[in-house]
Amino acid sequence: MTVDIPRKLVLRRDPVDRTFRGVARGGGIAVLTIMLLVGVFLAFRASQALSSDGVKFLTVQDWDPDSGKFGIAAVLVGTVLIALVAIVIAFPLATGTALYITEYAPRQIRQWLISLVDLMAAIPSVVYGLWGFFFLQGNITPISRWISQNFGWIPIFSVTGVDPNDPLPTSTLYTSSTFIAGIVVAFMITPIITAIMREVFAQAPLGEREGALALGSTQWGMIRSVVLPFGRGGMIGGTMLGLGRALGETIAVYMIISPVFVIQTHILQNGASSVSSLIALRYGEASPFGLSALMAAGLTLFVMTLVINFAASSIVARSRSGASS
């Protein structure tokens, strides 16, 4: 009686296949090298500035690297505030639009709306900057003034130098503020967030939707009990990706704000700051050491965006709507 011995499988690839795998691996290695080069170079140059500055880098507000007095406290707070204003405005807009497209819009215009939102996500940021600088700047002042006069007792809405009894307060107090930059960035990131949310909402299982409706729920009841819980991961993930974009936005912010190097927590007041506009402002006249300091600021921004993006993708991947988005 013969015993069947499993045949030994030997994978012998064609020369063509070996070449293909080699070339593909080479491409991967090249990209990895480029990416690591960027990261390592940034880290190396940044470390020169960081080692001389130490912890002060996070606490000092001024930016004067050549005299040794520099830190990102002011610009970092400014960046985060602009991004937060943007998210506070963009989140409800994006959620509403995504729900409208998936749940309420007539079937005939749905595809059209999806294309429109995708197209808006591709509009160059300089166009939003133009709109913010030439239109919004002049027309938002009444709202800024109204908020500051009625909610000025909340610290972030207060504007110093405002006389509540002055019927014609100067409007220059309210221009070039964190608030305006935040609004512009908000409209820039809303299409991106909307696109992600829409995709997740559209995947909400039909059976559960029909189940909710068959149990007698209204459309909003169905959305609240099926669509929103299903899409929660995508909502959070999409918003965080938008936040990442908002943190790194340069040109629209640079066009609007007038840079200050103190921690400016009054979001309605003239004067704001952000890391990326600091780089755009100071790179040209920077000494080699000043450039390392700018790199350190850029690296901080990069690390922040990186943490946010990874958190976002892990939240999206762990949610019920899954990694398909």
Partner 1 sequence: MTTILDSRPDGVPAVMSSTPATTKVIIRMNDTDDSVAEAQPLVEVRRQTGGLRMIDLLSGAGAAVASLALTQLLVTQLAPINGPIPFFVIAYLLFVAIYALLVSLDESGPVVRDRIVRVIVHSLAFSLLVTLAFVVIFTFSRGVQALPHLNFFTQDMSLAGPLDPLSDGGVLHAIAGTLIQILIALAITIPLGLTTALFLSEVPGPFARLVRTIVEAMTALPSIVAGLFIYATFILILGLEKSGLAASLAISVMMLPIMIRASDVVLRLVPATLKEASIGLGAGQWRTVWNVILPTSRSGLTTAIILATARGIGETSPVLLTAGFTASLNLDPLHGPMISLPLAVFEFVKSPEPTMIARGFGTATVLMALVLLLFIVARVIGGQTLAVRERRRARLVALRRVFTISWLLRNPLAAKVAVGAAPADTGLDDPAPILEESE
Residue ranges in 254-313 that form contacts with partner 1 under rule CB under 8 A: 255, 276, 279-280, 283, 288, 291, 294-295, 298-299, 301-302, 305-306, 308-310, 313
Query: 8-27: which residues touch partner 1 (CB under 8 A)?
Result: 13-14, 16-17, 19-21, 23-27
Q: Minimal distance in Å, beta carbon 224 to partner 1? A: 8
Rounded CA gap, 240 and 95, in Å? 13
Nearer of residues 149 and 265 to partner 1, judged by Cβ: 149
What type of residue is 149? Q
Adjacent-strand bridge partners of 63? 70
The continuous run of DSSP H or E covering 294 comes out as: helix 288-318
Q: Minimal distance in Å, beta carbon 201 to partner 1? A: 12
Judged by CB under 8 A, the residue of 250, 260, 317, 320 near partner 1 is 250
Helix count (H) and strand count (E) of the chain?
Answer: 14, 2
Closest CA to 266 of 29, 58, 85: 85
Other CB atoms within a 10 A radius of the CB of residue 274 amount to 32
Q: How many residues bind partner 1 (CB under 8 A)?
A: 94
Q: Minimal distance in Å, beta carbon 43 to partner 1? A: 11
Query: 139-198: which residues touch partner 1 (CB under 8 A)?
Result: 139-140, 142-143, 146, 187, 190-191, 194
Nearer of residues 97 and 270 to partner 1, judged by Cβ: 97
Nearer of residues 129 and 271 to partner 1, judged by Cβ: 129
Query: 81-140: which residues touch partner 1 (CB under 8 A)?
Result: 92-97, 99-101, 103-105, 113, 115-116, 118-120, 122-131, 133-135, 139-140
Long-range contacts of 306-311 (CB under 8 A, 24+ apart): 308/240, 308/243, 308/244, 308/247, 309/240, 309/241, 309/244, 311/240
Rounded CA gap, 248 and 6, in Å? 58
Asked whether the beta carbons of 120 and 243 are under 8 A apart, the reply is no
Query: 205-234: which residues touch partner 1 (CB under 8 A)?
Result: 217-221, 223
Nearer of residues 116 and 265 to partner 1, judged by Cβ: 116
